[in-house]
A and B are shown apart, each in its own frame.
Chain A
Amino acid sequence: MDKYSLKSILEQVCEDDFSEFSDPPRHKFRLKNRIRIRRILSDIKRNSAAPAMPRRFSRRLVTAMLVVILLAAMAITAAAILLLKGFIAKENKDNTQLFAENIAGAPTTIEEVYYIPELPEGYERGECAVIDACACTMYFDENGDFIILDQYVKSEYDMHHDNNSAFSVVIGEHNGVYIDNSTDQQTISCVIWDNGDYIIQLEGVLEKEDIIALAKSVKL
C-alpha cells in the first residue's frame, strides 16, 4: 500500500464518519431572535455601504454647503442688480432698467412740472405730455437735435436705457447718473437725478458738461 492509497482510504473513512453532520437540519430561531438578527445584519449592511460620519462633522458640512450655495446665489443677483448712487440698475438682455432707490416720503403725483428756463441757442419747446405720475417736455432745434426733459414720481420711474457706460454724478446737491448714449453720428448725453421729490431725466444732443450744466438749471 503506497502513501497515496492510504490517503484515499483515510479520506473515504473521514467522509463516511462525518457525512451525517454536513447537512444538519436547519435550526429555526424564535421570532424574537430572528428580529434581532435582522436588525444586526441591517446595521452591518448600512455601515459597510457608507462609512459613518460623526454627527458634528455632518452638520458642519451641511452648513458650509448651504452658505456656499447662498453666497453663490447672492453673487449672481449682485451681478444682475447694480446700485448706482440713488438708483437701482437691473440688467436685461439688451438694456438696463433704472429705478429710484429711495421712494419713501416722495410725492405720488406730479403737482408742478419742471422746465428749462434758458434753452441752448436754436431750441424751441415742442410737445409736452403730463399725466398724474410723469411728465415729458421736448425741445428741438431746426436740425432735429433734441433735448428731452422727463419728470417721474419716484415710484413710477422705470426707464430702459441702452447698455452704455454710466457714471455716478452729482447735480447740485443730488445724486445722479450720467449715461453716454453717443453714437458714431451723434453725441447724446443723458443725466438722471433724484431731486428729493421726483426723478428728473434730461437727455439731449449735448456734451456731458453741457447737459450737466443744463440739468443744474432745471427748475419749477
Chain B
Amino acid sequence: MKSFVTQKVFAAAIAASLASPAAYAAAAMPADNGVMPCYEIATSASSTLTFSSSTATCYSRCTGASTVSITAVQTLQKEGLFWIWSDVDDAEWTKTVNVASIVMSNTKSGLDSGTYRLKAEFTLTNSSGETETITVYSSEKEI
C-alpha cells in the first residue's frame, strides 16, 4: 500500500513537472531588457545539413540589421574519436555578399559513414563599420 502511495506521489509530481512548460505557452522569448546578451548585428541565422546516401547538402543563411556585407564560411565536420570534431577534407566554402542577407548551399559527395555537422561562421559588417562574427552549427546527422 505504501509503495502504491509513493508511486502515486511520484506520478503526480512528474505530471506536474511536465505540465509546467505549458504554462509558458503564451510567454514571449526573452525580452530585450539590456541584461540578456544578444547578437550585435545579426537578427537570424541557421545552418542545415541534409544527406542523400553519401552526399551532404550544406545550407546556411543569415540576416543582419543595417548590414552592408556578410561573409559566410561553411565547414563540414565529422565526429571522431572521443567526440572530437574535425573538418572534412575539401569541404569548406566561403561566400561574401554586399547586402544584408546571405544564403549559400554546397554539396559534398563520397562521404564515409559517421556523424556529421555543418559549421557556419558569419561575419557581418554594418553601415557604421562595426563587425560581428557568429557561429551556427546544424544538428548532427548520421549516415
A contact set with B: CB distance below 8 Å: 56, 59, 63, 66-67, 70-71, 73-75, 77-78, 81-85, 89, 91, 93-96, 126-127, 129, 131-134, 136, 138, 140, 144-146, 148, 150, 152, 156, 158-168, 177, 179, 181-183, 185-186, 188, 190, 201, 203
Alpha-carbon distance between A185 and B22 when the two chains are bound, in angstroms? 36
Partner of B29, one of A134, A145, A164: A164
What residues of B have a CB within 8 angstroms of the CB of A59 in the complex? 2, 6
Q: Is the CB of A186 within 8 A of B65?
A: yes
Q: Is the CB of A70 within 8 A of B27?
A: no
What residues of B have a CB within 8 angstroms of the CB of A126 in the complex? 99
Q: Is the CB of B59 within 8 A of A134?
A: yes
Partner of A136, one of B29, B43, B61, B139: B61
B113 at the interface (CB under 8 A from A): no
- Residue on A nearest B97 in the bound complex, by CB: A127
What residues of B have a CB within 8 angstroms of the CB of A167 in the complex? 28
B114 at the interface (CB under 8 A from A): no
B77 at the interface (CB under 8 A from A): no
Residue with the highest number of chain B CB atoms closer than 10 Å, among A85, A144, A145: A144
Contact with A along B1-41 (1 / 0, CB 8 A): 01000100110011011101111111111111000111100
Q: Is the CB of B37 within 8 A of A179?
A: no
Instruction: Please judge, given known A-B contacts A70-B17, A166-B29, whether A131 and B57 are in contact too, CB under 8 Å.
Output: yes
- Residue on B nearest A167 in the bound complex, by CB: B28
Alpha-carbon distance between A84 and B65 when the two chains are bound, in angstroms? 24
Alpha-carbon distance between A163 and B45 when the two chains are bound, in angstroms? 12
Chain B interface residue bracket vs A = 35 or more
Q: Is the CB of A83 within 8 A of B21?
A: yes
Instruction: Please judge, given known A-B contacts A94-B37, A158-B139, whether A148 and B63 are in contact too, CB under 8 Å.
Output: yes
B105 at the interface (CB under 8 A from A): yes
Q: Is the CB of B24 within 8 A of A71?
A: no
What residues of A have a CB within 8 angstroms of the CB of B63 in the complex? 146, 148, 203
What residues of B have a CB within 8 angstroms of the CB of A186 in the complex? 65-66
Alpha-carbon distance between A214 and B96 when the two chains are bound, in angstroms? 29
Q: Is the CB of A77 within 8 A of B21?
A: yes
Alpha-carbon distance between A150 and B45 when the two chains are bound, in angstroms? 11
What residues of A have a CB within 8 angstroms of the CB of B14 in the complex? 70
- Residue on B nearest A62 in the bound complex, by CB: B6
B136 at the interface (CB under 8 A from A): yes
Q: 10 smallest A-B Cβ distances: which pairs?
A: A74-B17, A166-B29, A163-B38, A181-B43, A162-B39, A94-B37, A67-B13, A136-B103, A129-B103, A78-B21
